[in-house]
Structure 1
Amino acid sequence: MTPSTTPDAPIMSVKDLEVAYRTGKGTNVRALRGVTFDLYPESALALVGESGCGKTTLGSALLRLLPTLGEITGGTITYRRADGRELDVTRMRAGELRRWRWSEAAMVFQGAQNAFNPVLTIGAQMADTLIDHSERRPSKKEILERSSEALRSVRLEPRRVLRSYPHELSGGMKQRTLIAMALLLRPRLLVLDEPTTALDILTQRTVIDLLAELRVEHRFAMIFISHDLALAAELADRVITMYAGKVIETGTTADIFYGPKHPYTSKLINAVPPVVGDLPELASIPGAPPSLATLPQGCTFAPRCELATDACRAAEPELIELVPRPEDRGHAAACLHHDQVHHERKVIARA
């Protein structure tokens, strides 16, 4: 593709992305349906929603890391390098993908406890990452220097960690080591899947602060997948709410948390206890998300929504731009009754 000449061009553009999983019955389950968004350099985007909404599938699809039964069935993923050259991720061959991953875009997978090879030291695994994804084979000295630098950047002591086996590290140390490995080749895009899951609250605080500092220091764009709305409120510049494989609301963090315009987003936020003031009665969302194999006609949230009308059940609403702003910084919601969504502002995260 030809280089982009716009200085503020997105680092990644996703257009009408479709992903399906093959089932044992010879049918396909549509896990992502027409996902579209832009990600700008050095920005942070949060993907939120209930389990099964497509967040992890989207994160994996962006780096072409879907499991064996998953397949991109439509749409495009365009990555823009620092020199402006555009790469179509959906058309990359295996060799191109291998060079692109970790050098340009990296992923921190969910579950630090199971992310490492248990029979290799951390040093050996970091060396493998550098050797496999560098343009040229690095020397032993370079491997040690780059590994040590990455570990120091996440506040770990290299001499101890490099010679340790995964079981010799705490959960928080494993999580920080995963982040260090993802940053080994200084990528411009980092995707994190539930980066604070299964960590105690103090360790979560350490990881959150660390990610905020690293993004400023290394100037990478970040997509993080989380069911923790407080984390999204604290770390993200923009938020995408997903439901049944679709983007149903997108906006700045202030848009989403102070003035959501989709009833599902509003209910998600109301289900989170505030960190200041009296503890109100927590809200819940009745029912359960629909099966992706048998989606209802019309709005997929309609069976759980008190605002739903016959018009909602007749056709699935598209994203409606509510507050137009340049560079994908507007506010949009896929709801026919967005003007009836009233939300009480509350604080769910501390700065």
Structure 2
Amino acid sequence: MNETTQNPQPAPTPQNAQGEPVLSVRDLEVAYRTGKDSRVRALRGVSFDLHPQSSLALVGESGSGKTTLGLALLRLLPTLGEITSGSVEFTGEDGRKRDVTAMTASQLRRWRWSEAAMVFQGAQNAFNPVLTIGQQMADTLKDHSPGRIGRREILERSAEALRSVRLEPRRVLSSYPHELSGGMKQRALIATGLLLRPRLLVLDEPTTALDILTQRTVIDLLAELREEYGFAMIFISHDLALAAELADRVVTMYAGKVIETGSTQDIFTAPKHPYTSKLINAVPPVTGDLPELASIPGAPPSLATLPPGCAFAPRCELATDECRQVEPELITLTERPKDMTHAAACIHHDQVHHERKVIARA
């Protein structure tokens, strides 16, 4: 687990993070086919905006829909998954708006990695084991560059990307993935994602398989790269410590829905959904007083057999009969500029009193 603080401060929002959103997602629904005539809804009515140079963290337990959302944004869902409704609108540097869900295969090929890229979970599995890092970076440049690109430019741009993540190009370009450490592979994967200077970078659990010191290096590196290149970032993680350090804004997901959203400051100091509060209380800080950690009872529901009403009700001590009958919608609690509005899908949001009990030291 990464280090965090009990009252984390949100990352500073760049002064020019204004204007049209880079990404505008509206009522996005994704389903997976589980049989000839059966489907499971993995995303249910997801909506959010991501502004230029800002950072959004998607948090929640495994199975909450975070990775499915990240894959859907770039139309990279597996064969059995499909977007059934909703829109994903991307705004480029030229101000042109495009609905990603309506793009053809050739349009997607030109758009991916040149304007929006994804860093997948597990660098060892993301790289082809029989090709060198240099060959794979070259393939990315050839396949997704808007025009023809020569060998010299490929080498120069690959080397520049590797240097930006503190790797020695001469060694890494000629290496196979298994010849690099976990941290080096992860940084090489980030460099590959940034080869064409995309406006949007989606990262799916980029530090999960790394030791804590290497995690620290990657976190610092991502913060520096974001400031240097000015890309907008979506960070998918079950680790709230990472969200506290890297995100301007946090979206909590549960059972395929957004159940709370707000600035990092609002979410970590005054969460208004019981699930978010419990997630925070399950994270041990490295500094400060030692709090009493509390696990969340029960398990997430099966998406194939969701309970009526609020999906979190079976695990929530605030649940009432109304919660078990009516599924709550996101309620705006506090208006904020630049889409930092604090909203929660809980009819008892005013009863969520977030606190962490400190363990008495001997």
Fold shared, TM-score > 0.5 on shorter chain: yes
Q: What are the residue-to-residue correspondences of 1:126-165 with 2, within 5 Å? A: 126-165=137-176
Are positions 1:103 and 2:82 aligned together? Answer: no
Partner SS, residue 336 of structure 1: coil
Are positions 1:181 and 2:156 aligned together? Answer: no
Consecutive unaligned residues of structure 1, counting only runs of 5 or more, are 1-5
Structure 2 CA distance for aligned equivalents of residues 7 and 290 of structure 1? 38
Partner SS, residue 231 of structure 1: helix
Identity %: 81
1:293 corresponds in structure 2 to 304
1:36-79: CA deviation from partner (whole Å, max 9, x where unpaired): 00000000000000000000000000000000000000100000
Partner SS, residue 106 of structure 2: helix
Q: 1:259 to 1:120 in 2, by over 3 A?
A: same
User: Could you tell me whether the CA contact under 8 Å between 2:57 and 2:235 is conserved in 1?
Assistant: yes
1:191 corresponds in structure 2 to 202
Partner SS, residue 293 of structure 1: helix
Instruction: For residue 280 of structure 1, report the CA deviation from its aligned partner.
Output: 2.9
Are positions 1:71 and 2:86 aligned together? Answer: no
Name the aligned partner's letter for residue 159 of structure 1. Answer: R
Name the aligned partner's letter for residue 117 of structure 1. Answer: N
Structure 2 CA distance for aligned equivalents of residues 7 and 218 of structure 1? 16
- Runs of 4+ in structure 1 deviating by more than 4 angstroms, as ranges, are none
Instruction: For residue 131 of structure 1, report the CA deviation from its aligned partner.
Output: 0.3
| CA RMSD in angstroms, aligned pairs only | 1.4
Structure 2 CA distance for aligned equivalents of residues 327 and 281 of structure 1? 35
The equivalent position to 2:72 in structure 1, one of 61, 66, 71, is: 61
Instruction: For residue 230 of structure 1, report the CA deviation from its aligned partner.
Output: 0.4
Structure 2 CA distance for aligned equivalents of residues 125 and 342 of structure 1? 50
Consecutive unaligned residues of structure 2, counting only runs of 5 or more, are 1-16
Are positions 1:207 and 2:218 aligned together? Answer: yes
Structure 1 CA distance for aligned equivalents of residues 183 and 98 of structure 2? 35
Name the aligned partner's letter for residue 336 of structure 1. Answer: I
Name the aligned partner's letter for residue 355 of structure 2. Answer: E
2:44 corresponds in structure 1 to 33
User: Could you tell me whether the CA contact under 8 Å between 1:34 and 1:246 is conserved in 2?
Assistant: yes
1:265 corresponds in structure 2 to 276
Q: 1:247 to 1:7 in 2, by over 3 A?
A: closer
Name the aligned partner's letter for residue 307 of structure 1. Answer: L
The equivalent position to 1:8 in structure 2, one of 19, 25, 29, is: 19
Instruction: For residue 24 of structure 1, report the CA deviation from its aligned partner.
Output: 3.0
User: Could you tell me whether the CA contact under 8 Å between 1:274 and 1:346 is conserved in 2?
Assistant: no
Q: How many residues align?
A: 342
Structure 2 CA distance for aligned equivalents of residues 267 and 245 of structure 1? 18
1:67-99: CA deviation from partner (whole Å, max 9, x where unpaired): 000000010000001111100000000000000
Name the aligned partner's letter for residue 295 of structure 1. Answer: L
User: Could you tell me whether the CA contact under 8 Å between 2:18 and 2:338 is conserved in 1?
Assistant: no
Instruction: For residue 166 of structure 1, report the CA deviation from its aligned partner.
Output: 0.7
The equivalent position to 2:61 in structure 1, one of 37, 42, 50, is: 50
Structure 2 CA distance for aligned equivalents of residues 281 and 152 of structure 1? 43
Instruction: For residue 310 of structure 1, report the CA deviation from its aligned partner.
Output: 0.9
The equivalent position to 1:80 in structure 2, one of 91, 96, 107, is: 91
1:241 corresponds in structure 2 to 252
1:3 corresponds in structure 2 to none
Structure 2 CA distance for aligned equivalents of residues 21 and 53 of structure 1? 14
Structure 1 CA distance for aligned equivalents of residues 337 and 101 of structure 2? 26
Are positions 1:318 and 2:333 aligned together? Answer: no
2:233 corresponds in structure 1 to 222
User: Could you tell me whether the CA contact under 8 Å between 1:258 and 1:345 is conserved in 2?
Assistant: no
Are positions 1:172 and 2:211 aligned together? Answer: no
Structure 2 CA distance for aligned equivalents of residues 241 and 48 of structure 1? 5
The equivalent position to 1:335 in structure 2, one of 338, 343, 346, is: 346
The TM-score, its normalising length taken from structure 2, stands at: 0.93
Name the aligned partner's letter for residue 207 of structure 1. Answer: V
